[in-house]
Amino acid sequence: MRIYFEKIPEEGLEINFSDNFETSESVFNINSFNGTIYAVNENFILTGNLNITIEDSCDRCLKKFKEDIDEKILIEIVKESSAEAEAEEIELKDEDMGLYFVREEYIDMEEIISQEAVLLRPVKRLCSQDCKGLCPICGTNLNEETCSCKQETDDRWADLKKLLENKNRNEV
Ligand SMILES: [Zn+2]
Ligand SMILES: [Zn+2]
């Protein structure tokens, strides 16, 4: 879905959009984006409500689960014209506002919304806050059953766990 800048009226243009896409790790369902795009000076502001469902694997038990996220988004769209855009980028250091640069005469809704959706994916992905994870010895999903392994704390596992957690963090 392309929104051409020249077609955006003064009072703003209402946008209702849905989509779905996947990355190597997750499935993103954009259930709805209901918002408006406004022309502001040389640039544009896209604002509205983004409702998505992300299907991910739990970091602890590896089970697939779905998470619903409902967020208001606010994105400034800057028409890129070389040096000018760079100056703007420094100027617009508003933490709450996303920035999106375009060279074309339109914005691509699939692209801009998928970017936002990926940003909303939680860093820590848990099927539930108290997920017990897998037994490190036999691999039993401890949310579903208990196993008879001796659950003694072994330092080697603690180190490995820390290592894996760091690795996960770096991959984000
Ligand atoms: Zn889990
Ligand atoms: Zn076990």
- Report if residue 127 sits inside a domain: no
C-alpha 128 – ligand 2 centre gap (Å): 20
Beta-carbon neighbours within 5 Å of ion ligand 2? 135, 137-138, 140, 147, 149
- Report if residue 159 sits inside a domain: yes
Ligand number nearest CA of 63 is 1
pLDDT for the residue 161: 75
What is the amino acid identity at position 16?
N
Contact yes or no for 52/31 (Cβ under 8 A): yes
Mean pLDDT score across all residues of the chain: 85
- Report if residue 86 sits inside a domain: yes
Closest CA relative to residue 77, chosen from 119, 110, 118, 105:
105
pLDDT for the residue 56: 95
* 147 and 113 fall within a common domain: no
C-alpha 56 – ligand 1 centre gap (Å): 10
* 38 and 106 fall within a common domain: yes
Ligand number nearest CA of 65 is 1
Q: Which residues of the chain have pLDDT under 70?
A: 81-97, 151-157, 168, 170-172
- Report if residue 126 sits inside a domain: no
Q: How many domains does the chain have?
A: 2
Q: Which range of residues forms the domain containing residue 167? A: 132-172
pLDDT for the residue 12: 94
* 107 and 148 fall within a common domain: no
pLDDT for the residue 94: 54
pLDDT for the residue 18: 94
* 50 and 86 fall within a common domain: yes
* 42 and 113 fall within a common domain: yes
C-alpha 59 – ligand 2 centre gap (Å): 18
What is the side-by-side order of every strand in the sheet holding 27-40?
A: 13-22, 27-40, 43-57, 64-79, 98-102
pLDDT tens string 31-64: 999 999 999 888 899 999 999 999 999 999 999 9
Contact yes or no for 80/48 (Cβ under 8 A): no
* 10 and 74 fall within a common domain: yes
Q: DSSP assignment of 69-107, as one string?
A: EEEEEEEEEEE--THHHHHHHHH---TTSEEEEESSSEE
pLDDT tens string 129-145: 999 999 999 999 999 99
